């Protein structure tokens, strides 16, 4: 089922897969990536195992509200503390997801977040703990100040994605893909095509990136998270090096860390078997399902 729900001043688009009576897992995507980026192999794995999957486009991506009137944010100024404030932050995006849960009458759900989506999921667990049954944080970060920096080329490619719309789109996005792919080389054409299908808009990516930069620190709040947590992280992640995943697993009490060998900062079919098995084991343990 596909639909849209108005909440928190925006309209969010979503897809629902699986049995309406099954336990719900919410999937939150990363920077510039809409709900269609989740691999279909993972969707099938989860629904075949008896879970309902709710995939959401965050604001400023895909079929959800695009905040054209908000314009661009001076990212350098925001980092330096001298620029204009971001129009929203990650805590706002967490409230968005709670609103869509209200609209679909979902009192509590498992929450899986990839990259930026994992940061939104963390804020859901911090600010709305009664709505989060468990967490699965995929290639994400606590943004603690002492964590290893991104590979310079990868970091530059990420910010280039949010630069004003100039230059060749294919070249811009392929540069990011090559920085993300890890030990599993793959032609980046699919990545370019998928971003185009999601409605790639540099100004919207700029605002999403600004949301991450403008959000108050949370690394010192993760010790209070009580729900079960799985951390999935690539060993060759150039955006958030492996230390980011290790840090999350250390800060969240009882969290389990699964290292995805050879994986970069991308959800590709090369890692979906291992990732899917780990995710199902986590969900089944929380649900008390015997497999």
Q: State pLDDT tens for residues 60-90.
A: 999 999 999 999 999 988 888 776 789 999 9
Q: Which residues contact 203 (CB under 8 A, 6 or more apart)?
A: 68, 71, 72, 164, 165
Q: What is the mean pLDDT of the chain?
A: 91
Tens digits of per-residue pLDDT, 114-130?
999 999 999 999 999 99
59 in Cβ contact with 67 (< 8 Å):
yes
Q: What is the largest CA-CA distance in the chain?
A: 54
pTM: 0.95
- Give domain 2-287's CATH superfamily: Alpha/Beta hydrolase fold, catalytic domain (3.40.50.1820)
Q: Which two tokens stand for residue 19?
A: 């049995």
Q: Domain ranges for the chain, please list them.
A: 2-287
The β-bridge partners of 12 are 5
Predicted confidence at residue 290, as pLDDT, reads: 53
Summarize pLDDT for 162-181 with one digit per residue, the tens. 888 655 667 777 777 877 88
Q: At what angle do helices 269-287 and 40-48 cross, to 10 degrees?
A: 30
- CA-nearest of 70, 82, 81, 13 to 206 is 70
């Amino acid at each position: 089922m596909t639909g849209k729900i108005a909440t928190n001043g925006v309209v969010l688009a979503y897809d629902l897969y699986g049995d309406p009576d099954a336990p719900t897992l919410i999937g939150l995507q990363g920077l510039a990536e809409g709900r269609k980026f989740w691999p279909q192999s993972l969707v099938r794995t989860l629904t075949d195992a008896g879970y309902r999957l709710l995939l959401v486009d965050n604001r400023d991506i895909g079929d959800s509200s695009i905040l054209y009137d908000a314009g661009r944010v001076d990212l350098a100024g925001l980092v330096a503390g001298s620029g204009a404030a971001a129009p929203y932050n990650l805590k706002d995006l967490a409230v968005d997801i709670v609103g869509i849960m209200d609209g679909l009458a979902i009192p509590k759900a498992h929450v899986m977040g990839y990259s930026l989506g994992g940061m939104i999921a963390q804020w859901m667990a911090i600010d709305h703990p009664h709505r989060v049954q468990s967490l699965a944080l995929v290639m994400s970060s606590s943004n603690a100040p002492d964590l290893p920096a991104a590979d310079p080329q990868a970091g530059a490619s990420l910010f280039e994605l949010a630069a004003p719309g100039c230059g060749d789109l294919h070249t811009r996005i392929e540069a990011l893909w090559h920085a993300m792919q890890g030990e599993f080389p793959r032609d980046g054409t699919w990545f370019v095509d998928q971003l185009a299908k999601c409605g790639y808009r540099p100004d919207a990516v700029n605002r999403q990136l600004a949301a991450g930069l403008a959000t108050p620190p949370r690394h010192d709040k993760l010790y209070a998270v009580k729900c079960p947590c799985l951390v999935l992280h690539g060993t060759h992640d150039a955006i958030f090096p492996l230390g980011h995943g290790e840090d999350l697993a250390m800060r969240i009490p009882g969290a389990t860390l699964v290292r995805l060998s050879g994986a970069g900062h991308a959800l590709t079919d090369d890692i979906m078997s291992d990732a899917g098995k780990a995710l199902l084991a986590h969900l089944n343990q929380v649900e008390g399902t015997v497999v």
